Amino acid sequence: MTAHSLPTALPSPLILHEDPVSGNCYKIRLTAALLDIPIERRFYDITKGETRTERFLAEVDANGRIPVLQVGERFLPESNAACFYLADGSDLIPSGRFERAAMLRWMFFEQYQHEPNIATMRYWLHVLGEANLSDEQRGLMPMKRSGGEAALALMDRHLARRDWFVGDACSLADIVLFAYTNVAHEGGFSLDEYDAVRGWIRRMRALPRFAAM
Amino acid sequence: MTAHSLPTALPSPLILHEDPVSGNCYKIRLTAALLDIPIERRFYDITKGETRTERFLAEVDANGRIPVLQVGERFLPESNAACFYLADGSDLIPSGRFERAAMLRWMFFEQYQHEPNIATMRYWLHVLGEANLSDEQRGLMPMKRSGGEAALALMDRHLARRDWFVGDACSLADIVLFAYTNVAHEGGFSLDEYDAVRGWIRRMRALPRFAAM
């Protein structure tokens, strides 16, 4: 990977409102680490409802979710939007028009087909624990499992002939897909049959300034 | 709305592989209409599995989904990525760094909290028909309904003090959220209590070059 051009004119403070257990929060920390952008961190425990308090809803996010990136006095929810904000103007976003849209394609795929299956399974099995799940959650597990497998299979086919999701370098598409793929085993997903995905994970971990979850 | 600066250097052909019943496909047509960009259309019937044929999977999209925007010889899945491609360089994308990320925030929200609830309910009730649903689909309906209501309530609170989702003009955030909000009644959602959403829908319909679904 070539050195990143540093984005200019970032307001301070940059504060990440987050729960360290969340892969959506980790994406933002990884983007900041790769770009060498310092961010402050504020911690909330989602299992204790700390993002649904009156104060959080009024001051941080009316949607009651994390991560939220605070930029000066303004608040930016949605993990992939926060990654885009930090990386805007850097070479983590391709300069070609088609490639930029192709990067976003994989970022929308991540939020539509990957995260709702793989991250949700991981949250249920690894964070809440299988014994604590509701009947409704148990009933949804087969659908989540097959959806997650389909997402991993699509990624594996795509990576079979290329090192990175878009173009010839790491972009935000790789970063946002890495977050929950790297801990997919905690959701009961095995990567054993996805050779190309495992090779890509090794390349991600070898990036300069890479930060582990 | 001010006149849009036309994006430059769009390759031809621009072909939208779509099903006219899909709001995700309509988003792309609406973006193209507002920007006065001509696109060709190829039609597939998703209820007949026409996006799961061997040929479609090999030539258009290995994920078996529409819409896909064909740009010359390349293919771009994910509706919101296709909208971004068409609008890149136009004033449908804010020029400010924070505003650009805030636009993406609402686009990710649309794919994560709005479309999976409101579009899915509309597909089940309006396209497939309630009598044809599986027990699994019926079982998911209460969750989809409450998720859709939460999305509409959040939009209504946000629009209560502003005309557009980001800044002071229509952006892609408005376009992608408009697609299924405008037909939410077909999914059993009433907009009667969402005054701000209804006002915003009227503003959307009054845009120069607006194209109906």
Give the span between the Cα atoms of B74 and B60, in whole angstroms: 9
| Residue A211 included in any domain | no
pLDDT band at A1 (very low <50, low <70, confident <90, very high): very low
Distance CA A104, CA A82 (A): 13
* Average pLDDT of the residues of chain B: 94
Domain range enclosing A187: 97-205
Q: List the single residue in B7, B88, B97 with the smallest CB-CB distance to A88.
A: B97
**Integer Cα distance of B199 and A20 in angstroms:** 40
What is the rounded CA–CA span in Å between residue B92 and residue B173? 9
Residues B179 and B109 placed together within one structural domain of the fold: yes
> Measured between CB atoms, does A161 come within 8 Å of chain B?
no
Residue B10 has pLDDT above 80, yes or no: no
* Assigned token pair, B157: 């609170």
Whether A28 and A122 map to the same domain: the answer is no
Smallest CA–CA distance, residue B100 to chain A, in Å, is 8
Question: Is B116 a member of any domain?
Answer: yes
Tell me which of B10, B112, B152 to substitute to probe the interface with A (most A C-beta atoms closer than 10 Å). Answer: B112
Residue B42: its H or E element:
strand B40-43
Q: Which residue has the tokens 């970032």?
A: A10
Give the pLDDT of residue A3: 41
**Same domain membership, residue A162 and residue A110:** yes
CA atoms lying within 13 Å on the CB side of residue A85: 31
Are A125 and A44 in the same domain?
no
CA torsion B103→B123→B86→B73, rounded to 10°? 140
Contacts of B116 in chain A (CB under 8 A): 112, 116
Q: Please give the residue of chain A at the shortest CA–CA distance from B72.
A: A98
Contact (CB<8Å) A109/B80:
no
Number of domains chain A contains: 2
Continuous H helices in chain A: 23-34, 54-59, 79-87, 97-109, 120-122, 135-159, 172-181, 195-205
B129: left (phi over 0), alpha (psi -120 to 50) or beta: left
Residues A136 and A201 occupy one common structural domain: yes
Starting at the earlier edge strand, list the strands of the sheet with B40-43.
B40-43, B14-18, B68-71, B74-77
B161 touches chain A (CB under 8 A): no
**Cis upstream peptide for A20 (omega within 30°):** no
Q: In terms of DSSP bridges, do strands B74-77 and B68-71 run parallel, antiparallel, or are they unpaired?
A: antiparallel
CA torsion sign for A163, A165, A169, A175 is negative
Q: Cα(A147)–Cα(A120) distance, rounded to whole angstroms?
A: 11
- Residues A147 and A165 placed together within one structural domain of the fold: yes
Do both A77 and A57 map to the same domain?
Answer: yes
Query: What percent of chain A has a predicted confidence (pLDDT) above 90?
Result: 90
Residue at a domain's end among B68, B87, B106: B87
Q: Which residue of B has its CA nearest to A70?
A: B98
- Omega prior to B13 cis, within 30 of 0: yes
A87, A113, A136 - which closes a domain: A87
CA distance A152 to A170: 18
Q: Based on the fold, state whether residues B137 and B74 are members of the same structural domain.
A: no
Give the model's pLDDT for residue A31.
98
* Residue A52 sits in the same domain as residue A133: no
Query: How far is B161 from chain A, CA to nearest CA, in Å?
Result: 14
**Which of A55, A87, A119 is the endpoint of a domain?**
A87
User: CB B81 to CB A111 under 8 A?
Assistant: no
Give phi and psi for A40, each to the nearest 5.
Answer: -85, 160
Same domain, A184 and A121: yes
Which pLDDT score is estimated for B55? 92
pLDDT in tens, A101-158: 999 999 999 999 999 999 999 999 999 999 999 999 999 999 999 999 999 999 999 9
Q: State percent of chain B over pLDDT 70.
A: 96
Task: Give the mean pLDDT of A35-57.
Answer: 93
A77 interface with B at CB cutoff 8 Å: yes
B-chain residues within 8 Å CB-CB of A85?
Answer: 97-98, 100-101
Percent of chain B whose predicted confidence (pLDDT) is above 90: 90
Local structure of residue A130 (DSSP, 8 states): G
Q: Indicate whether A36 belongs to any domain.
A: yes
Compare CB distances from B74 to A82, A98, A104 and report the shortest one's residue: A98
Q: Which of residues 4-33 of A touch B (CB under 8 A)?
A: 9
Percentage of chain A modeled with pLDDT above 70: 96
For residues B73 and B103, membership in a common domain is answered with no
Using CA atoms, how far residue A62 sits from A58, B154, B155, B198, B200, in Å, is 6, 8, 10, 20, 20
Q: What is the pLDDT of residue B12?
A: 77
Cross-chain Cβ contact A85/B108 below 8 Å:
no
- Closest Cβ opposite residue B98 in set A74, A111, A112: A74
Give the one of A9, A101, A112 whose C-beta lies nearest to B76's C-beta.
A101
